[in-house]
Amino acid sequence: MDNTMIMREDQSDADLAFMDEAVLMAEEALHAKEIPVGCVLVHDGRIVARGRNRTNEGRNATLHAEFDALRHLLPDRSHSVTPQLVRPFTPQLDDVLAVSGGANDPAQRKVWQTPLKGVALYVTVEPCLMCASAMRQVGIDKVFYGCANDRFGGTGGVQSIHSDPRLLYAPPYPAVGGYRREEAIMLLRRFYISENTSAPNPKRKNNRVLKTDIPEVAPSRSPSLASRSSTPNLAPPSPAPAPLAPAIPTI
Ligand SMILES: [Zn+2]
């Protein structure tokens, strides 16, 4: 749809270093026979949480890498101490009233004091619709991702939840892709070419060959047609069946 991609020469060393850490998490997911998506959350120049896909391990379709990382930050019953950077998760009454009262007047509109202001997400694959929405609700500052997700992407791949002005409750955030994109795609290919032993009816894929060519991606905002061609359908003839529906691109 409308992914924003950044060329390699415009990517900072610091951002690449954080994405390298996300790639490591994705590799851990691959070794655990999970769809290889990994991420880190960064605050004040340091990693404050790491996550990877655990949908099979947790028997929980919401345990995408982003949620895995978030649960280390957001307070819940298992955390006796809430990290200092996390503000109360529940919006205060004043905030809610301000949102509803200012709905027809953008100048009066006020957003919730979201809990993760100042935190950036680095994730190997564009966040899905669910995660893109969650990131907005917790007030993430910015999202950096590897490859686009043209099946489930919520930051331009399918819809642009990160920037949709109709969502009044939380501020929009920028999302930029292209960081370690090739590595992210190759991890997904390695997963799909291997036999998914946790699937209900594992398919033999011994005859499949790992593709290594990565199509170039157009810089910045691509028209929808160009965007589509930058993320071609490189999936095997039939994607590996998984016990829990994965939200990942077909690459
Ligand atoms: Zn997701």
Task: Provide the residue count of the chain.
Answer: 251
Of the listed 66, 126, 182, 216, which one is catalytic? 66
Q: Could you tell me which CATH number the domain at 8-75+114-192 has?
A: 3.40.140.10
Which residues sit opposite 177 in a β-bridge? Answer: 5, 145
Q: Which residue's entry shows tokens 């960081």?
A: 179
Answer whether residue 188 shows pLDDT above 50. yes
Burial class (CB in 10 A: 0-12, 13-18, 19+), 112: buried
Cα(101) to centroid of ligand 1, in Å?
Answer: 32
C-alpha of residue 102 to centroid of ligand 1, in Å: 31
Q: What CA–CA distance (Å, rounded) separates 53 from 25? A: 9
Has residue 180 got a pLDDT over 90? yes
Residue 172 phi/psi, 5-degree rounding, is: -70, 165
Of the chain, the percentage scoring pLDDT greater than 70 comes to: 64
Span 170-178, average pLDDT: 93
Tokens of 193: 């070419």
Confidence check: pLDDT of 93 > 50: no
Establish whether 66 is a catalytic residue.
yes
Which pLDDT score is estimated for 114?
Answer: 65
Residue 224 has pLDDT above 70, yes or no: no
- Lowest-pLDDT choice from 53-62, 64-73, 90-99: 90-99
Expressed in angstroms and rounded, the spacing between residue 7 Cα and the centre of ligand 1 is 24
The mean pLDDT value for 9-24 works out to: 97
Nearest to 141 by CA among 43, 57, 227: 43
pLDDT at 228 over 80: no
Does the pLDDT of residue 82 top 50, yes or no?
A: no
pLDDT band for position 21 (cuts 50, 70, 90): very high
What is the pLDDT confidence band of residue 214, given thresholds at 50, 70 and 90? confident
Cα-to-chain-centroid distance, residue 163:
15
Is the pLDDT score of 78 beyond 80? no
Output the DSSP codes for the chain.
Answer: ---EE--GGGS-HHHHHHHHHHHHHHHHHHHTTS---EEEEEETTEEEEEEE--TTTTT-TT--HHHHHHHHHS--TT-SS--TTPPPSSPPHHHHHHHHHTTT-GGG------TTTTEEEEEEE--BHHHHHHHHHTT-SEEEEEE--TTTBTBTTS-BTTT-TT--SS----EEE-TTHHHHHHHHHHHHHS--TTSSS----TT-----------SEE--HHHHHHHS-----SSPPP-SS-------
- The tokens describing 25, both together, are 């998490």
Residue 223 has pLDDT above 80, yes or no: no
Among 65-79, 128-142, 211-225, the least confident range: 211-225
Q: What pLDDT is attached to residue 240?
A: 44
Q: Of the segments 99-103, 132-136, 233-237, which one has the largest average pLDDT value?
A: 132-136
Give the residue extent of every domain in the chain: 8-75+114-192
Cα 140 to middle of ligand 1, angstroms: 15
**For the whole model, what pTM was predicted?**
0.74
**Cβ count within 10 A of residue 202:** 12
pLDDT of residue 168: 76
For ligand 1, the distance from its centroid to the CA atom of residue 17, given in whole angstroms, is 22
Instruction: Indicate the pLDDT class of residue 150, thresholds 50, 70 and 90.
Output: very high
- pLDDT confidence of residue 204: 57
If you average pLDDT over every residue of the chain, what do you get?
A: 78
Of the pLDDT bands very low, low, confident and very high (cuts 50, 70, 90), residue 237 is: very low
> Residue 164: its pLDDT value, please?
94
Which pLDDT does position 145 carry in this prediction? 98
